Structure 1
Amino acid sequence: MQTCARWLGRGGIIPLRSGTLLLLLVPPVLLALQLLVAGPRLPRVTGSGEREGAVAFSVISIEPEREPRQRGSPSREEEEGDRREGTRAYEDENEVLSRQMGPRTLEVQPWAEDKPSFTAELNRLLTYITRPQLNCSRVLSPGRAEASQPPADSPHWLLCAEDWLLPAADGPCVAYSFSMDGGDAEFLKTVSGLGCEVHSFDPSNSNASGRHLGNGLASNHGDGGVVSQHKMWLEWRAARKRKHKTRDNLGGVSQRLADIMAALGHHTVHFLYANLLSAEWRVFQNWIETETLQSVQHLVATVHLQWAGFEVGGTDEEVLRYWFSVLQGLHASGLKLVHSSAGEGHSVLKHTVADAHSSYTLSWVNTRH
């Protein structure tokens, strides 16, 4: 049975078969069924104009990513201020470290002549340590606490007793002595007679008599003339682990002068005696570079010439130039030589020199006080 239908085309009415008509009706029917099934699931429009159930989209920005600032967190300006403050604190710490390590280094002096010469370097050194740079009309002689005119003979050491160089009568007076050979007995007697607070340092003296004895430090504030004994020695190297130092404990038997003074609460040492058995050159260098000498008013020290000294190396000419550079550093720090006394022996760096001695005890005064 044929179903007759008509199709209006360009050529007029075209007869269609029933199979062809069925194919044309399938797509509309499928579309209608899809709408009937999916229609209830379509998103509904809410009162705000947004479609309920719509997919949320993320906006991608090409600007640099910024951390969201939480409530109470600092702003960018505050963060930059903190960074500047941290940098400033770091710089301040470096400044403190610079002061601890020394704002300057030892200045090595030029050669005495155009080329290294043992004779020229030795003569320059001897000229310096045997010629006083300051004349004192009144002095304190070994074992005596009364000022007098310079004695006719040449004592082992002298303290310049000009009024402007001595501590005030109603002020504090502090004295340190570093000696392991007992050669400081007259020095201790002199400064004790002046009523000073006296501290004697000797790491080898286990039977020392006095008010205090031990590795710790204790002060005799208010007890002028009393000698405090300490089993401790001078160091020129900075401690590897710097722990907090207290008045009664420095944590070791070898410390730098600045650390000892800090532990004892002293800002000035008015009289200091030192026989450091060839360690004096490196100790002096440390005092120069850390400006510890600004806190020392009178210095009596023995320098040893028979060998280079602890941690001092080089040729004989280089050692002599180094020694002279250290002495010039003391001079630049304000110390003026007031007395020189020659020791025994005639050995200089293992050379026998008839007109030189193996050691000299030198007395300085700091004219910057």
Structure 2
Amino acid sequence: MRSCARRCGRGSLPLSGILLLLIPPFLLALQLLVVGPRLPRATRTGVEQEVAFSVISIEPDRNSRQRGSPSRRPGLEEDGEEQEEEEEQVEVEDGERRELARAYEDENEMHSRQMGPRTLEVQPWAADEPSFTAELDRIITYITRPQLNCSRVLSPGQTQASLPPADSPRWLLCAEDWLLPAADRPCVAYSFSMDGLDADFLKTVSGLGCEVHSFDPSTSSASGGHLGNSLASNHGDGGGVVRRHKMWLEWRAPRKRRKKTRGSLGSVSQTLADIMASLGHHTVHFLYADLLSAEWRVFQNWIESGTLQSVHHLVAQVHLQWAGFEVGGTNEEVLHYWFSVLQGLQASGLKLVHSSAGEGHSVLKQTVVGHSSYMLSWANTRR
């Protein structure tokens, strides 16, 4: 018995050793039982593996405008008032939401300026380097050479089409049949003037049976900004009543667009697009504008907003004595900007019909051979 114990002790492991050998396999089996069901299944042949997507919310950078803002255009000043408005925050209770809304608005505005299909295209310089004489000669040549010959025209104060007069009237409307509104269709005319020199224009378009609206912020007989659509009473009466409004043109697109009710503008200054929307007009057949040097920025707004697509005839005075409202830079840069605007009008479909020189012989306060202002008449050939 004693000898057997000695033999067994020498040829076999003790009980504790056997337990140590069994513990690791036991733990491994236990781990497979607990964790195994949670492991992703291997992809089987012919079966697509499911993919889980995570949604990540990224807060826009507040300085996105500073890093990605477009470069300043030649001939344009920075608008101080507009910069102040851009610093205003949207009125919401939650401060974090307010910052987010402002950042998104700034980003969208920057994107529209960079990627918009109607952004004013800056033209190449007239010479190899900026030159006052070269830029001015190019502008004068452009605004004194009509691009569209009309066999029949409407002269100031006249309601019957006739041959072009021998003298040079202040303005002319091209009276070709394909450019005039049909007799059985509504006709709309706008006039923006503060000097009363639009009387002949108002007489002509009224005689055509148009619905006529005259805009003057200084008039005392205006409707106070509460405007209605008088199409039924004006169209076809042979001498349409001229509705006068204490209103003027704005070239800045409003930062906060509010839904306007038809017949009410709600402000003394609005863009042309907003005025048309408030009056319920999709088209302005005849538009007269003497904007006292604000025409360059207003034209730019019409080009970039696409409003010119809805204007069939444009009679406007351009002023060359000084740069104009919110237009800055050297004299060469200002002339360069003016020419870019004129090219933008042409790209929008306007062709010059008539040009009439005004008084004075100074451009940007420099005495020149040309004149200080010109009354230009255009017709839209893409209507």
Name the TM-score class by shorter chain.
0.7 to 0.9
Say whether 1:255 aligns with 2:265: no
Rounded to whole Å, the distance in 2 between the matches of 1:358 and 1:246 is 41
Say whether 1:183 aligns with 2:197: yes
Number of the residue aligned with 2:308: 293
Q: Structure 2 matches for 1:155-174, cutoff 5 A?
A: 155-174=169-188
Say whether 1:341 aligns with 2:380: no
Instruction: Give, as a single letter, the amino acid of the residue that structure 2 aligns with 1:221.
Output: L
Task: Structure 1 unaligned segments of length 5 or more: list them.
Answer: 1-9, 11-58, 65-75, 81-89
1:329 maps to which of 344, 366, 382: 344
Rounded to whole Å, the distance in 1 between the matches of 2:379 and 2:231 is 24
Secondary structure in structure 1 of the residue aligned to 2:122: coil
How far off is 1:103 after superposition? Answer: 2.7
Rounded to whole Å, the distance in 1 between the matches of 2:132 and 2:120 is 21
Say whether 1:352 aligns with 2:367: yes
> For the Cα contact (< 8 Å) 2:357–2:375, is it kept in 1?
yes
Instruction: Give, as a single letter, the amino acid of the residue that structure 2 aligns with 1:216.
Output: H
Number of the residue aligned with 1:219: 229
How far off is 1:275 after superposition? Answer: 0.4
Rounded to whole Å, the distance in 2 between the matches of 1:207 and 1:229 is 7
Rounded to whole Å, the distance in 1 between the matches of 2:344 and 2:256 is 28
How far off is 1:243 after superposition? Answer: 1.0
Number of the residue aligned with 1:320: 335
Partner deviation per Cα, 1:89-119 (whole Å, 9 max, x = no partner): x9xxx79x959x9533111111101011100
Say whether 1:234 aligns with 2:249: yes
Say whether 1:278 aligns with 2:293: yes
Number of the residue aligned with 2:317: 302
Partner deviation per Cα, 1:214-268 (whole Å, 9 max, x = no partner): 1122121112211111100001101122111112222211000011111111111
Number of the residue aligned with 2:165: 151
> For the Cα contact (< 8 Å) 1:103–1:290, is it kept in 2?
no
Rounded to whole Å, the distance in 2 between the matches of 1:102 and 1:269 is 24
Rounded to whole Å, the distance in 1 between the matches of 2:148 and 2:302 is 22
Rounded to whole Å, the distance in 2 between the matches of 1:307 and 1:281 is 11
Partner deviation per Cα, 1:136-167 (whole Å, 9 max, x = no partner): 11000001110001111111100000001000
Secondary structure in structure 1 of the residue aligned to 2:344: helix
Rounded to whole Å, the distance in 2 between the matches of 1:162 and 1:361 is 21
Most deviating of 275-284 and 214-223: 214-223
Rounded to whole Å, the distance in 1 between the matches of 2:277 and 2:181 is 20
Partner deviation per Cα, 1:41-79 (whole Å, 9 max, x = no partner): xxxxxxxxxxxxxxxxxx899679xxxxxxxxxxx99x9
Rounded to whole Å, the distance in 2 between the matches of 1:309 and 1:144 is 32
Rounded to whole Å, the distance in 2 between the matches of 1:222 and 1:152 is 38
Rounded to whole Å, the distance in 2 between the matches of 1:244 and 1:250 is 10
Rounded to whole Å, the distance in 1 between the matches of 2:159 and 2:233 is 17
Number of the residue aligned with 1:266: 281
1:199 maps to which of 196, 200, 213: 213
Rounded to whole Å, the distance in 1 between the matches of 2:186 and 2:233 is 11
Task: Structure 2 unaligned segments of length 5 or more: list them.
Answer: 3-33, 41-50, 56-103, 235-239
Return the TM-score normalized by structure 1.
0.72
Number of the residue aligned with 1:39: none
Instruction: Give, as a single letter, the amino acid of the residue that structure 2 aligns with 1:300.
Output: V
Number of the residue aligned with 1:113: 127
> For the Cα contact (< 8 Å) 2:264–2:279, is it kept in 1?
no
Partner deviation per Cα, 1:330-349 (whole Å, 9 max, x = no partner): 00111000000111111100
Secondary structure in structure 2 of the residue aligned to 1:312: coil
The runs of at least 4 consecutive aligned structure 1 residues that moved more than 2 Å come to 59-64, 101-104
> For the Cα contact (< 8 Å) 1:214–1:229, is it kept in 2?
no
Larger Rg: 1
Instruction: Give, as a single letter, the amino acid of the residue that structure 2 aligns with 1:243.
Output: R
How has the CA–CA distance of structure 1 residues 114 and 170 changed in structure 2, closer, same or farther, with 3 Å as cutoff? Answer: same
Q: Structure 2 matches for 1:133-152, cutoff 5 A?
A: 133-152=147-166
Partner deviation per Cα, 1:6-37 (whole Å, 9 max, x = no partner): xxxx9xxxxxxxxxxxxxxxxxxxxxxxxxxx
Rounded to whole Å, the distance in 1 between the matches of 2:298 and 2:38 is 64
Rounded to whole Å, the distance in 2 between the matches of 1:223 and 1:341 is 34
Q: Using the aligned pairs only, state the percent identity.
A: 79
More helix per residue: 1 or 2? 2
Instruction: Give, as a single letter, the amino acid of the residue that structure 2 aligns with 1:280.
Output: E
Partner deviation per Cα, 1:284-304 (whole Å, 9 max, x = no partner): 011111111000000000000
> For the Cα contact (< 8 Å) 1:102–1:291, is it kept in 2?
no
Report the count of equivalent residues: 284
Secondary structure in structure 2 of the residue aligned to 1:341: strand
Rounded to whole Å, the distance in 2 between the matches of 1:302 and 1:178 is 11
Secondary structure in structure 2 of the residue aligned to 1:199: strand
**Over the residues paired in the alignment, what is the CA RMSD in angstroms?**
2.6
> For the Cα contact (< 8 Å) 2:355–2:376, is it kept in 1?
yes
